[in-house]
């Protein structure tokens, strides 16, 4: 009975393959919940619980007729309610559908409330947790490579960049009201844009280090070029300790620079909370040129540009300073880095 109920609420059919990113996890959770609760609750209440879980399937698009998932979920609940034993009037069914849908939308919107977080540093902290959870190599602190790190950042940047802020929060009837719904959507838009800028700046800076590594021996642990995060002997030397000061560039997003320099809202076990190297490159290039460099770095990742071509296309003074700083940290590659410094100076 629990499986049949969940299938009806989710709109799945017997024999259908469950979509990995389109409700499988939520469906299985709903089946477990329904099986555990069915001895204790009436069917209308079970429908409501399963509907709340279904509503948390995230980021669903508006259909061709301009209807979001709430329309289709309400339709399925209405059909299930009509099949309940006993005589239930249309008015009672509609009251039940309305109450279930209001509860489901409240539950679903609370599930993604972080997208409306007013503090971008807190939103980034939640994003960083997802990066760490979904990229197993990052667990090995001090061992994960430059490419491991860059791929993890790139995946999240691509994912967040693909999200439509209009598909994050939902409403049903008059809840939430128009003003609150507009606020949620605008907050989501700003947070997504901020996170993509942040990740883009981070990818740009790590691409520079990756290019230096590829030109001097190949991919390697990130700590080889940037320094360790922790050390039992006190604070370890880091690449930023050897970077020269840089004047403030006016074409910057000051809030983004603040988070890069001061850090996200929560500490991370696998990465520095602040991003001093990225703050340096961001200050050197400014926002627009940082984003242009991001696109060039993607060409390098795709094999359309050599690492040397990528490096030579960036500000020479900045690249030479970073090369020198890395030579202080990457002792085993110091000689190769100094030779590369000469090549980049030409």
DSSP lists the bridge partners of residue 145 as 221
Q: Is the peptide bond before 176 cis (omega within 30 degrees of 0)?
A: yes
Closest CA to 341 of 331, 225, 321: 321
Contact in structure between 148 and 197 (CB atoms under 8 Å) = no
Task: Tell me how far apart the alpha carbons of residues 116 and 186 are, in angstroms, rounded to a whole number.
Answer: 8
Q: Rounded to an integer, what distance in angstroms lies between the CA atom of residue 207 and that of residue 278?
A: 11
- The confidence score (pLDDT) of residue 21 equals 78
Measured in degrees and rounded to the nearest 5, phi and psi for residue 83 equal: -95, 0
Write the CB contacts of 204 (distance below 8 Å, at least 6 apart in sequence): 278, 281, 285, 290, 291, 293, 294, 297
Q: How far apart are the first and last CA of the chain?
A: 75
Q: Are 204 and 277 in contact (CB under 8 A)?
A: no
Contact predicate 224/337, CB 8 Å? no
Q: For the chain, give the longest Cα–Cα distance.
A: 87
Q: What is the helix (H) or strand (E) element at residue 16, kind and residue range?
A: none
174-179 long-range contacts (CB < 8 A, ≥24 apart) are 175/102, 175/105, 175/106, 176/105, 176/109
Are the C-beta atoms of 181 and 171 separated by less than 8 Å? yes
**pLDDT given at position 267:** 59
Phi then psi for 172, rounded to 5 degrees?
A: -140, 130
* CA–CA separation, 294 and 289 (whole Å): 8
Q: Which two tokens stand for residue 63?
A: 């259909």
Per-residue pLDDT of the chain (346 residues; tens, 9 = 90+): 889 999 999 999 888 888 877 889 999 999 999 999 999 999 999 999 999 999 999 999 888 888 889 999 999 999 999 888 877 888 999 999 999 999 999 999 999 999 999 988 888 888 877 776 766 666 656 678 999 999 999 999 999 999 999 999 999 988 999 999 999 999 999 999 999 999 999 999 999 999 999 999 999 999 999 988 766 666 788 999 999 998 766 689 999 999 999 876 555 555 666 799 999 999 999 999 999 999 999 999 999 999 999 999 999 999 999 999 999 999 999 999 999 999 999 8
Residue found by looking up tokens 């009201």 in the block: 177
Q: What is the DSSP letter of 120?
A: H
Q: What is the DSSP string of 294-335?
A: HHHHHHHHTTSS-HHHHHHTS-HHHHHHHHHHHHHH-GGGHH
Residues 119-134: tens digit of each pLDDT:
888 888 888 777 767 6
In whole angstroms, what is the distance from residue 319 CA to residue 188 CA? 35
pLDDT at position 88? 81
């Amino acid at each position: 009975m629990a499986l049949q109920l969940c299938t009806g609420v989710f709109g799945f059919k017997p024999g259908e393959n469950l979509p990995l990113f389109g409700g499988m996890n939520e469906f299985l959770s709903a089946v477990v919940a329904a099986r555990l609760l069915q001895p204790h609750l009436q069917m209308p209440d079970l429908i409501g619980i399963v509907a709340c879980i279904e509503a948390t399937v995230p980021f669903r698009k508006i259909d061709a007729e301009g209807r979001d998932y709430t329309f289709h979920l309400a339709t399925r609940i209405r059909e299930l309610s009509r099949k309940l034993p006993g005589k239930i009037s249309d008015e009672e069914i509609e009251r039940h559908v309305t109450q279930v849908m209001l509860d489901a939308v409240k539950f679903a919107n609370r599930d993604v409330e972080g997208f409306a977080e007013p503090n971008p540093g807190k939103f980034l902290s939640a994003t960083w947790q997802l990066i760490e959870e979904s990229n197993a190599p990052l667990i090995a602190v001090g061992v994960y490579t430059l490419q491991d790190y860059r791929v993890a950042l790139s995946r999240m940047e691509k994912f967040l960049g693909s999200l439509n802020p209009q598909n994050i929060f939902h409403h049903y009837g008059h809840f939430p009201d128009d003003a609150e719904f507009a606020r949620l959507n605008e907050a989501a838009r700003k947070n997504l844009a901020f996170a993509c800028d942040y990740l883009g700046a981070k990818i740009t800076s790590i691409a520079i280090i990756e290019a230096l590594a590829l030109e001097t021996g190949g991919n390697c642990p990130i700590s080889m070029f940037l320094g360790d995060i922790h050390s039992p002997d006190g604070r370890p030397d880091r690449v930023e300790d050897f970077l020269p000061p840089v004047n403030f560039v006016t074409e910057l997003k000051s809030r983004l620079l603040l988070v890069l320099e001061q850090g996200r809202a929560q500490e991370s076990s696998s990465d520095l909370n602040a991003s001093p190297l990225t703050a340096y490159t961001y200050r050197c290039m400014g926002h627009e040129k940082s984003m242009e460099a991001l696109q060039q770095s993607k060409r390098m990742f795709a094999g359309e540009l050599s690492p040397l071509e990528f490096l030579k296309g960036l500000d020479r003074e900045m690249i030479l300073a970073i090369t020198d700083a890395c030579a202080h940290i990457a002792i085993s590659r110091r000689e190769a880095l100094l030779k590369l410094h000469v090549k980049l100076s030409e």
